[in-house]
């Protein structure tokens, strides 16, 4: 009896997730993730948004992992997804990076050693979703996801300009004190 009640609770939760918006837009998980199709990405995010991700996940069967990234300024975002192939390669591995407005990049398989590189022109809140599937429930797979945000440093010319303007202001103040 307990098993039936537990199954009914899980089934109602899944049906509740499916009852949410079914639009296939950037803010929703796409159709190739059958258990989560049409679910808003915000509801699947695990943990708080940070500026880096370094996650290794063991996959038994099907897995969907959604992480939030926060970029406080303009800069470069590098995302790497690697199938570690331990103990076996995954049968399916997909990466989705979106900001829910216009940025939308999807890759099937590993990203390669350089990864995906995004040049962000200003602050952004991003979602990085990974859909992975092993060959069966008996043969797991393992993948690694790394995402790093590097802000654009203030160029040396700007520092020189600011220090020169500061020097002129000090010189002008000293001249007016005479």
Task: Quote the percentage of the chain above a pLDDT of 90.
Answer: 32
Q: For residue 37, what pLDDT is reported?
A: 57
pLDDT interval class at 130 (50, 70, 90): very high
Rounded to an integer, what distance in angstroms lies between the CA atom of residue 70 and that of residue 89?
A: 31
pLDDT-derived band at 169 (thresholds 50, 70, 90) equals confident
Task: Return the higher-pLDDT residue of 57 and 176.
Answer: 57
43 or 12, which is more confident: 43
Residue 79 phi/psi, 5-degree rounding, is: -120, 125
The pLDDT assigned to 170 comes to: 85
Q: What is the pLDDT of residue 8?
A: 39
Residues 50-70: tens digit of each pLDDT: 889 999 999 989 899 999 999
Within 8 A by CB and 6+ apart from 78, the residues are: 114, 115, 116, 117, 118, 146, 147, 148, 150
Give percent of the chain with pLDDT exceeding 70. 74
Average confidence (pLDDT) over 127-145: 91
* Angstrom distance (rounded) from CA 147 to CA 116: 9
Give pLDDT tens digits for 68-125: 999 999 999 999 999 999 888 999 999 999 888 877 888 888 888 889 999 998 999 9
Taking all residues of the chain, what is their mean pLDDT, rounded to a whole number? Answer: 77
User: Which domains occur in the chain, in start order?
Assistant: 2-152 (2.60.120.380)
Q: How confident is the model at residue 131 (pLDDT cuts 50, 70, 90)?
A: very high
DSSP for 119-160? EESS-EEEEEEEEEE-SBTTB-EEEEEEEEEEEPPPPHHHHH
Task: Reply yes or no on whether the pLDDT at 31 is more than 80.
Answer: no
By DSSP bridging, strand 104-108 and strand 62-71 are unpaired
Does the structure show a pLDDT above 90 at 157?
no
| Coil vs helix vs strand at 37 | coil
Give me the phi and psi of 173, to 5 degrees please.
-65, -40
Residues 34 and 63: their CA atoms lie apart, in Å, by 11
CA distances from 66 to 129, 157, 165, 172, 175 (A): 4, 40, 47, 56, 61
């Amino acid at each position: 009896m307990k098993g039936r009640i537990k199954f009914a609770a899980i089934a109602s939760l899944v049906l509740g997730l499916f009852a949410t918006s079914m639009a296939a837009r950037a803010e929703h998980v796409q159709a190739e993730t059958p258990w989560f199709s049409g679910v808003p990405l915000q509801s699947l995010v695990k943990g708080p948004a940070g500026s880096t991700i370094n996650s290794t996940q063991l996959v038994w069967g099907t897995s969907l992992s959604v992480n939030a990234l926060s970029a406080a300024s303009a800069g470069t975002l590098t995302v790497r997804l690697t199938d570690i192939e331990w103990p076996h390669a995954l049968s399916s591995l997909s990466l989705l990076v979106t900001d829910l407005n216009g940025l939308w990049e999807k890759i099937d398989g590993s990203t390669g050693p350089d990864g995906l590189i995004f040049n962000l022109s200003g602050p952004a809140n991003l979602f990085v979703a990974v859909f992975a599937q092993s060959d069966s429930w008996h043969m797991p797979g393992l993948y690694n996801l790394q995402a790093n945000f590097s802000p654009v440093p203030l160029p040396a010319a700007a520092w020189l300009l600011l220090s020169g303007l500061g020097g002129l202001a000090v010189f002008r103040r000293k001249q007016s004190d005479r």
